[in-house]
Structure 1
Amino acid sequence: MIKNAHNPNRPYSPDPDQAEQIKHWHTPDLTADARSQDTRTNALNLQRPDSKRVADDETEETLEIKPLTADDIEQMRQAAHDEGMLQGKEEGFAKGYSERREQGQQDGLKQGLAEGKKQGLADAATEIDTLRAELSVLFDQLQQPLAKIDNRVEQELVQLALAMAKSVINVEVTTNPQVILQALQEAIGALPLQSNAVTIKLNPADVATVKQHYSETEITERGWQLRAEPLLAQGGCLVQSSSSSVDRSIQQRVQSSLEHFLQLEEAAEHAAESIINDTVDDTIDDIAADTEQRKVTESDSPAKSSQSAPSSERQAEKEKKQTSAQDPKPHD
């Protein structure tokens, strides 16, 4: 009789599930073959787990270890070689990528700075050219009104000087007989040496003056033929020979003097204009140099720009231009 584990005095009474399993319980095989197979079961006629484990252990013990062949060794060596190559490749790639990345960043930074500096200088040159053109237009606009005023004043001064010269000369020639005599000598001296017969046209008043200073014999010996010309102003003469003529009339002498004066004035104006243009160019160059200096300083602050010309050299060149412009050669 099976006793109850909880109450030894009370018979064991299985529960319905256990009772159902008991109904299907088979008597285990106790023969020698069955025992040799070690198919031991538990109370429920189920194979015990430890018997299966023992069988597996016996199977493992019966496994034979085969020796390694040359192919196996070669495969193992190749596998280890491939694994080492792969690991070295990965490590080398990671290291090379890091180094090349750092080098690429440095090269990119240098190239970017160089291109930025070059682009900055190009932009500065464009701005300088634009500024130069604007300043040139501005100076031209400032000079145009002054030039118009100068031209008008110049014309009025010329007319005034001409009128004053004529007035002074008319007074001089009527009171000083030396005027016509000097004009006659200058005209005769301007003729070629081989000139013999000379026709001298004079104002009737000047004919009398010449005859007072030269006798008829002297006039004949000199080969002069005096001819009165009422249209000529007093104090002037027109000398003609067979090959040339000299105009020493008052009108021509005043015109020559005036032209010479205007030539001197034109030379002075040219010198002044040259000085102004040089000053404008120097001012523009100074502004351009300062702008370029600022651009270079902004793009590369540690470096000092050596491209702009020193101010002392520009000043010396400016003074040289002004000196040469202030010393014009008069026209003959």
Structure 2
Amino acid sequence: MSRDLHRPFALDSVSSELAEHWDLPDIGDDSNEPEVNAVNRQRPVEPEPEETEEAPQPLTLAEIEAIQEEARQEGFDQGKADGHQQGLEQGRLKGLEEGHQQGFEQGLEQGLAEGKVRIDAKVAQWQSLLAELVAPLKAVDDQIEHELVELSVQLAKAVIACEVKTQPEPLLVALRQGMDALPSKGQQVVIETNAEDLELIQQSFGEQELTRRDWQLQLEPSLSRGSLRLVTSRSQVEMDLATRMETVLQGFLARPRDPVSEPPYPEFSPEPVSQEANAPESASAEVVPDTPASTDTADAESKPEA
């Protein structure tokens, strides 16, 4: 037993296979690992001595003023920076808004000006086209107007001629007007007329009245119905029916009349719309009653007798 204790240690083949290499432990200072003693027990940690805090010294007036000044300056700088940033943002927004408004107004004004030029060009073009359309219509209106006037004149003459054949008033009115047109009164008057009117005058006045007025009836076949010729020793007066009708119709056509009701032409047309489109109605309505009682023939021709 004692021999074994003093015999040197040697590894057999089995132990050498099981043996592992062992590195030396790090003996450096590692403050993070707890210190242990020889028996691998942690040494008790000695408490560190507590640091005694010194009581703060009271601030002096100068230090207080310095702190206040520093705080004021810091607040001023911070407010200035914030105000500058806010002012830049507000100025940018306001400038953007004003620029947008100004640009909008300028664009609107420019657009209106350019639009007006284009509109004026289109209006001129349409006016030219309308003028080309209106010109043929105006020519047709003028032609229709002329034809209506001619028709109304012929209609009026036909109505007057029929009135003369059926009523004695037109002839008697012409006789009275012719007597008034004679330059001297109280002398013998020879009344020349056609057979129908001669008989009509005899029936209207009678022989006794004709003798009292010193009127002498004389047949003149060349005179038309409604026409008279008054002859005295010094003058004669022609009371031709065609001349009287022409005088009345010319006076009717020459006088102004109210505008007719018709669709207006475009405003650019320089020529006024004709006002004689209603000539047939007016001629038939006015010429007939004016014939027996018209005073326009009072200025009948008066020729001195040779």
TM over 0.5: no
Which is richer in helix?
1
Structure with greater contact order relative to length (CA < 8 Å, sep ≥ 6): 2
Structure 1 length normalisation: TM-score? Answer: 0.39
Flag the structure with larger Rg: 2
Structure 2 length normalisation: TM-score? Answer: 0.42
